[in-house]
Amino acid sequence: MSEFDYDLFVIGGGSGGVRAGRVSAALGKKVAIAEEYRFGGTCVIRGCVPKKLYVYASQFPEHFEDSAGYGWTVGETSFDWRTLVANKDREIARLEGLYRKGLENAGAEIFESRAVLDDRHTVRIVSENRTVTARHILIATGGRPNMHEALPGNEYCISSNEAFDLPELPKSIVIAGGGYIAVEFANIFHGLGVETTLIYRGKEILGRFDMDMRRGVHREMERKGIRILCHTISKGIVKRPDGRLEVRLSDDEIIVADQMMLAIGRSPNTEGLGLEAAGVETGPIGEIVVDELSRTNVDNIYAIGDVTNRVQLTPVAIHEAMCFVDTVFRDRPTPPDFDAIATAVFSQPEIGTVGLSEDEAAKRFDELEIYRAEFRPMRHTLSGRQERMIMKLVVDATTRRVVGAHVLGVDAGEMAQLLGIAVKARLTKEDFDGTMAVHPTAAEELVTMYQPSYRLRNGERVE
């Protein structure tokens, strides 16, 4: 008989924790998993999934408008926020059930409770006020929105958590931040008819992405009517007697809005977890410090997902979970592979991207060829919409390898998934050129850009 109650105790029932728990249990390990709120974590409950549903909801007004050019007359339309929220809740409850069932079917034991570490092998099940022991412990407690404690009036602000379930749709909103969440929500709210202002402290939204994508999406968002203020932060928020908010900006402009949303990054959930009792080391923003195998400084305790503040993406947490299982239970030490992660921003239009931006590539390679196409996609010929699509390939001129692929436009997220295979497989520009186009599609542009638009040598544009 084992000296421990469990082979593995997982704290946190999000994408990473559930995957690790389910697969380990399916291998015949004795597994327990604790979740204090709902199974599914940020992605399913208050992140990727509801976000994508709201993106779909917010796109209908443009579809209605665009249909006129194709001969349709759409009658009077109206939108009911509560219907959307209720239908979203139903879908999330369904998904949560699937997560739970997957764990149960694999034989994992579920604790609907907060769990904290008493020592390196002992976990306290808070709701039952008892302890259990485990040989291995996996911390996958995720993160939460940074609510900017130093901002006067921050108690009046919402985060993406609340945005999904507002009792009513605001007439106007100010969103602070220039990352994924700020940009996606600005488009969602605007699409649903909310007067939307985005304020961002830097010079261009969506740092870390290719500059063509950043400028392109900025231009299209402004064209739709979203107000974007760069080099701007909020100095404070005051609630008026009528319940509306006065948002004071760094240039002293005051915007009156119904809601103010903070989307300025996320912080790891590590407070009150008993990390000190177990001797687990944390980093500057509270993240759990791990080695390349996701192991903490305490060798039977591992951490994966947002709580480690490596790459805050659901598929990355799931990949880390699979690597954890290989390392710990299959005797195959496997470091997660963070190279060439394809990703999408569900802005409107979308950004799909994999590999290096032009600027990043210019720092790493002596000579680059940039292939770039900007055009109005076919679907907008009859619709009359002015929205433009941008496609860009960044090629290392020495090896001919495509080191970055970037798309702005309809279905860019879907394209990024497939481009991800090509870039990950280190395919060359000639492999792209030798691939037959699928016609007529927008994506065919990716295999028909035969001449470089320009070249860079030692970081300088040469032609």
Active site residues per annotation: 439
**Closer residue to ligand NDP (CB): 116 or 182:** 182
Closest distance between ligand NDP and the C-beta of residue 407, in Å? 14
Q: Cβ of residue 371: shortest distance to ligand NDP, in angstroms?
A: 25
Tell me which residues touch ligand NDP (CB under 6 A). 148, 176-182, 184, 200-202, 207, 233, 263-266, 312-313, 343-346
Which of 52, 114 has the CB closer to ligand NDP? 52
Q: Is the dihedral of CA 48, 54, 59, 60 positive or negative?
A: positive
Which C-beta is closer to ligand NDP: that of 160 or that of 334?
160
Comparing CB distances to ligand NDP, the nearer of 265 and 452 is: 265
| Identity of the residue, 184 or 387, whose beta carbon is nearer to ligand NDP in the bound complex | 184
Q: Which residue is nearest to ligand NDP (CB)?
A: 179
* Residue with Cβ nearer ligand NDP (264 or 412): 264
**Token pair listed for 10:** 């997982």
Apex CA 245: angle with CA 240 and CA 249, to 5°? 120
User: C-beta of 162: minimal distance to ligand NDP in Å?
Assistant: 14
- C-beta of 267: minimal distance to ligand NDP in Å? 10
CB of 167 to ligand NDP, least distance (A): 23
As measured in angstroms, the least distance from the Cβ of 39 to ligand NDP is 20
